Structure 1
Amino acid sequence: MNRLRQETSPYLLQHANNPVHWYAWKPEAFEKAKAENKPILVSIGYSTCHWCHVMERESFEDDKVAAFMNEHFVNIKVDREERPDVDQIYMEVCQVINGSGGWPLNCFLLPDRRAYFAGTYYPPRPMHNRPSWIQVLQYMKDAFHDRYEEAEKQAGRLMDSVARSDTIFLKEDLLNVPSEELFSTGGPKAIYENLAQSFDRKHGGFGSAPKFPGTMGLRYLLEYAYLSGDEAPLQHFHFSLSQMIRGGIYDQLGGGFARYATDRKWLVPHFEKMLYDNALLAGLLADAHRHTPNPIYETTLRETLGWVKREMTSPEGGFYAALDADSEGEEGRFYVWSYEEVQELLGDDAEVFCSFYDITPGGNWEGTNILHRPVSNDDFCTARGQDPQALQATLAAGRMKLFNAREQRVRPGLDDKILLGWNAMMTTAYAKAYAAIGEQDYLDTAVANIQFLLDKFRQPDGVSFFHTYKEGMAQYDAFLDDYALLIEALIEVYQINLDTALLRQAGDLCRYLMDHFLDSGHNLFYFTGQSQEDIPLRRRELYDSATPSGNSTMAHNLHKLGLLLGKPVFSKLAVDMLRGVKTSVEQYPNSFGRWANALLYQSYPYYEIALVGQQAAAKAIHLQQSFIPNAVVMASATANEDWPLLAGRDTGGDTNIYVCQEYACKRPVDTVAAALELLNNNG
């Protein structure tokens, strides 16, 4: 019997009608493996994974293959987005064995859940130096039953390697160095210089194909430039962002960014759209616009959040996880165009539209066309002698016609599960967008989603949270990333609505993590809580990969909350977390992007800004329209002894603004302009 029909994950439900007797990662499967002394096959993927779909069609829907799997294995399907803790462990095993990984990830375990082999995609017949899937199954069955002692030794070696892997980048040589010596401005400069070695100066971004957005590295360039006064990082920052916005990686009709580009020029996307990429990019666009107001940044931000509202928001107010790359069995089919289609839809306007978006009879990708902008609007108008306003009107009308026609196509699959951490990232993006643009709907959305998360994901104990939610049911204990990103969202929403209940909740969650997730021996957090017992080991995840790690996010959160709540224990832990990773972060900033930013704010300390008086709230919002990344802000109509930044503050008439740094305050001022002048003179 296939147990996946009982699940809510879209990926697991995709496999619910396979003849394989799939289980979810739940006790029933492990008990069966022990009772029947069978190896466990764990197959891990996600709903928008192209090769996962391929392997399903070729093997998991084959009756003979399924019969062999059912007879000899206990088969478990895992959605990597639903159980990232499981994915992390066995992906590490795959990388140890093969030197690389990917999805689908297929792992063979002993009944106690220790892995003795792992690989990725296997074809139905041997090809390209890969054995067939049935050959792999036969070999793994024989290894378990005929060479068990060898398999057990292999499992022991592999799991020991995984257990030690998260300490490779921890260095103990800086543990006792005074913080004033540890965090000089030389560290941030070294990080920038190492990042610069990977710049693609011709096409923007970092490295070669496949080309990922590199949002955390780009954010470092923006914030390092602001704090250090070095203008050079800004050149690559703005160039990279503009190249992505004009490229095929950005949906020129509907808004939103694809997961990555398969080429260096950002032309050909892998067409899946992930919530987390767009959350990180929307937040970056908002801050880019605050730093350097630019109508292109504002338009792209509005279009991206428009896509989120239109296609990725549930009736309850949560955000869905992802859109598939495929529709009608073809990658990108929903998004590409033939020259003839555009000619027919646009008539007389087709010539200028096709020229602007590089739509040609032969196509720019596999005989079809991906809309992108090879040149800027200004350069296009100059080359053709075109009036800019007339061009924009023609292009806008053309985009609307193509968008409406595209809406009639078969849509890509939607992964409609709602994940706590990814939702928190999008809430943070909405909060930043409100601060940058002042759109009331963005504030309303941020506040509504944070309340949705607090209501729907909270466990019955009133303290801990679940990881995933769908159709009224939340399940699986939340992971470190979930809590860290939720705390970050609580802080960011507080900065725009000044509801101190959000800060109290953020502080409570930090204390919960310190009690249940902290490895005090390394001053880092485990990915899983101490009560979770269904995985073979606990790991400390350090890398900032597609999403920021929970540990690096907590280094930021603890630093900010230490100031806002007056909690030295938070501030000290933030510093201690950075001690062990500092050397690795400076050497490998592409792998530790958010850690790099956390180091930045130890070298360039935060300002604490307190606004007290009748106009405090309005002036706080006005102040934050400017880009001040190294500041925390509190505001209140009256002094408030419950909050250190507001205690003992004199309103002094209308409203006083206090600009402080490292427990020393300037004389209060009463206008935002004067406060900004203080900050600029000391930034």
Structure 2
Amino acid sequence: MNRLAAATSPYLLQHADNPVDWWPWGEEAFAEARRRNLPLLISIGYSSCHWCHVMAHESFSDPTTASAMNAGFVCVKVDREERPDVDAVYMQATQAMTGHGGWPMTVFTDHSGRPFFTGTYFPLRTRGSTPGFLQVLAKVAAAWAGRRGEVTQVGAAVAARMAELAVPVGGRGKGGEKGLTADELDASVRQLAEEYSADEEHDGIGAGFGGAPKFPPSMTLIQLLRHHARTESAQALAMVAQTCNAMARGGIYDQLGGGFSRYAVDGTWTVPHFEKMLYDNALLLRVYAMLWRTSPSPLYRRIAEETAGFMIRELGTAAGGFASALDADTDGVEGLTYAWTYQQLVDVLGAEDAKIAAAAYEVTKAGNFEEGKSVLRLAAEPVGAARNAEDVKRVAAKLRVARAQRPQPGRDDKIVASWNGLAVSALIEASAALGRPDLQRAALRCGQLLFDVHMADGRLVRTSRGGRASENPGVLEDYGCVAEGFVALHTATGDRAWLERAGVLLDTIREQFRSDGGLYDTAADAAPLYFRPSDPTDNASPSGTSAAAAAFAAYAQAADSDEALEDARAALGAARALAAQAPRFAGYGLAVGESLLTR
């Protein structure tokens, strides 16, 4: 066992028995690199990442590769979900230096943490134009030994450029106003309409934004729903409804167990990347609950209830929080738990019921996935043997029982503060929309865990596991999402303690994260990185700036606070910069802007 054996991160623990002499992120690793006069090899990933598992199996478990790593580098393993700040500064460098990013991320740095060579997944040996990892190790070690001046110069130049790009965005609009104007929000929706496809050519199955890979645009959908509430825009509501219909029918949605996968590898929501993340499901639960309020279709209610059920059943922890993710792989194979051949339907259901299931879930003998397997999709209008809804329910129940006997994907059971904050807000939204007090109780349990384990003296830790808090400091998105969740608990229960707890977190944002230009993602007193990150763009989950704006806005309404209202409007300067050209990267902030106009 190496130094990762004492980690709280399931991802780090997966590497605790590697022959690599891994160090966790921290000053001790940098001190060791200075002592041995070696560069650092920083490997960043997360537990449900398919290619992270592949590289671990090919390279980090290989004694020859581990020997080269140990001899030439001080090797550091980072869970990006525990340390999103570390991930952010090196992802920006990787994208700038290579033109792309992803995980596992492989970064070589000098003793100050400045990157001089970066990449993502490297195969063990050269494959096509991708160099093998052993070759990369040899060349980087040779460069460090023989061209140190050049290496140092590259690292210094990268660090300077990254710091220049990370200046916070915020402040006022052209007319001097804070917040977003109706004209700016209307313009963002017009831009979204230009990017939107109803996919009429394929019966709407690919409705949404962008092509393959296709990600659920959850925060943009929240923005459009709030825009519809303000303007009664039929176009905005249609974009939401058509996208939600397509996702609900697609393979990205688990037709038997509920819950959404991370994204679809195609443009029609058919074949997912099978990992299931808490943040996706929390945000999409909120979307479908909001949509049910606006357009009470039985489909939207069912998807909301099943997604909430998935979160509580499969991600819920004994302490009351929600685990981070289910793996993409099962026993190293993507889709092993979820995909079906036609013959497997026959084996479980018999020939006649197999016809019902195949018609309802679009399973064919050719398959839509690998090796003749099909990812289950919901037929828009089941025909023939699948017409009877009760028959479909009956065969689905049998398939669920059979699927439960298969090997199951691993679960990353660490608690991430910001994602659990999103889950609290979503469960409160769904409880009110669906008339489900049990969902409010689940939200309260989660909120209590966040307060008891993650919060002390106005500060948050990012992660915990088994009721044990880590030492990873909370970042801006943690403060924003948890504070918004606490306000939601106050609104639902009338318990003022939750509002006071949210206020304490917002005070910390003001004291530790705010600058003259906007908000940084790390606290002023956090251990320094090679630059201080400030990324205002929403990605898979809300940016720290968007999350803070949402929390300030929610608190302003609940507490009738002019100060919080001003803080919310100031934070929306980042969304303003993206509204006209790239609104999909500011959906959460734009949704806050919509709510402030209807306040």
> Scaled by the length of structure 2, what TM-score is found?
0.95
Displacement after TM superposition at 1:565 (Å): 2.5
Matched, 1:463 2:458: yes
Displacement after TM superposition at 1:51 (Å): 1.0
Displacement after TM superposition at 1:272 (Å): 0.6
Mapped partners of 2:259, 2:31: distance in 1: 44
> Cα deviations across residues 511-565 of structure 1 (Å, max 9, x unaligned)?
111011111x20x221111221152221112010000111112122223323433
Matched, 1:361 2:361: no
| Aligned twin of 1:503 | 499
Query: Which of these residues, 237, 240, 245, is aligned with residue 242 of structure 1?
Result: 245
| Aligned twin of 2:19 | 19
The structure-2 alpha-carbon separation of the partners of 1:225 and 1:314, relative to structure 1 and needing over 3 Å to count, comes to same
Displacement after TM superposition at 1:598 (Å): 2.5
Mapped partners of 1:32, 1:496: distance in 2: 51
CA contact (8 A) 2:252 2:272 kept: yes
CA contact (8 A) 1:358 1:364 kept: no
The structure-2 alpha-carbon separation of the partners of 1:385 and 1:333, relative to structure 1 and needing over 3 Å to count, comes to closer
Mapped partners of 1:111, 1:293: distance in 2: 58
Displacement after TM superposition at 1:176 (Å): 6.0
Displacement after TM superposition at 1:384 (Å): 4.2
Given residue 538 of structure 1, which amino acid in structure 2 is its aligned partner?
R
Displacement after TM superposition at 1:407 (Å): 0.6
Given residue 458 of structure 2, which amino acid in structure 1 is its aligned partner?
V
The structure-2 alpha-carbon separation of the partners of 1:183 and 1:512, relative to structure 1 and needing over 3 Å to count, comes to closer
The structure-2 alpha-carbon separation of the partners of 1:447 and 1:173, relative to structure 1 and needing over 3 Å to count, comes to closer
Identity of aligned residues (%): 37
Within a 5 Å distance, the mapping from 1:571-650 to structure 2 comes to 571-579=565-573, 581-602=575-596, 604-606=597-599
Within a 5 Å distance, the mapping from 1:398-409 to structure 2 comes to 398-409=395-406
Mapped partners of 2:309, 2:169: distance in 1: 42
Mapped partners of 2:355, 2:173: distance in 1: 63
Displacement after TM superposition at 1:173 (Å): 7.8
The structure-2 alpha-carbon separation of the partners of 1:386 and 1:338, relative to structure 1 and needing over 3 Å to count, comes to closer
Of the structure 1 ranges 525-534 and 570-579, higher mean CA displacement relative to structure 2 is found in: 570-579
Of the structure 1 ranges 552-561 and 325-334, higher mean CA displacement relative to structure 2 is found in: 552-561
CA contact (8 A) 2:258 2:307 kept: yes
Query: Which of these residues, 480, 484, 489, is aligned with residue 484 of structure 1?
Result: 480
CA contact (8 A) 2:546 2:588 kept: yes
| Aligned twin of 1:303 | 306
Within a 5 Å distance, the mapping from 1:206-605 to structure 2 comes to 206-347=209-350, 348-366=352-370, 367-375=372-380, 379-380=381-382, 384=384, 391-459=388-456, 462-475=457-470, 476-519=472-515, 521-522=516-517, 524-579=518-573, 581-602=575-596, 604-605=597-598
The structure-2 alpha-carbon separation of the partners of 1:192 and 1:468, relative to structure 1 and needing over 3 Å to count, comes to same
Mapped partners of 2:90, 2:264: distance in 1: 27
Given residue 216 of structure 1, which amino acid in structure 2 is its aligned partner?
M
The structure-2 alpha-carbon separation of the partners of 1:581 and 1:290, relative to structure 1 and needing over 3 Å to count, comes to closer
Displacement after TM superposition at 1:325 (Å): 1.3
The structure-2 alpha-carbon separation of the partners of 1:385 and 1:442, relative to structure 1 and needing over 3 Å to count, comes to same
> Cα deviations across residues 359-413 of structure 1 (Å, max 9, x unaligned)?
12222222111111132xxx33xx54986xxx12111111111111111111111
Mapped partners of 1:245, 1:115: distance in 2: 42
Displacement after TM superposition at 1:175 (Å): 6.1
Structure 1 residue ranges, 4+ long, deviating more than 6 angstroms after superposition: none
Given residue 558 of structure 1, which amino acid in structure 2 is its aligned partner?
F
CA contact (8 A) 1:582 1:599 kept: no
Number of aligned residue pairs: 590
> Cα deviations across residues 51-82 of structure 1 (Å, max 9, x unaligned)?
11111111111111111111111000001101
> Scaled by the length of structure 1, what TM-score is found?
0.84
Mapped partners of 1:289, 1:24: distance in 2: 45
CA contact (8 A) 1:49 1:103 kept: yes
CA contact (8 A) 1:200 1:208 kept: no
CA contact (8 A) 2:357 2:386 kept: no
Displacement after TM superposition at 1:174 (Å): 2.8
Q: Which has the higher contact order (CA 8 A, sep 6+)?
A: 2
The structure-2 alpha-carbon separation of the partners of 1:306 and 1:579, relative to structure 1 and needing over 3 Å to count, comes to closer
| Aligned twin of 1:174 | 173
Mapped partners of 1:25, 1:478: distance in 2: 15
Given residue 355 of structure 1, which amino acid in structure 2 is its aligned partner?
A
Displacement after TM superposition at 1:228 (Å): 0.9
| Aligned twin of 1:649 | none
CA contact (8 A) 2:480 2:550 kept: no
**Runs of 5+ in structure 1 lacking a partner?**
607-683
Mapped partners of 2:85, 2:198: distance in 1: 37
CA contact (8 A) 2:171 2:570 kept: no
| Aligned twin of 1:147 | 147
SS at match of 2:462: strand
Q: Which of the pair has more CA radius of gyration?
A: 1
Displacement after TM superposition at 1:310 (Å): 1.5
| Aligned twin of 1:616 | none
The structure-2 alpha-carbon separation of the partners of 1:171 and 1:422, relative to structure 1 and needing over 3 Å to count, comes to closer
The structure-2 alpha-carbon separation of the partners of 1:204 and 1:110, relative to structure 1 and needing over 3 Å to count, comes to same
CA contact (8 A) 1:585 1:595 kept: no
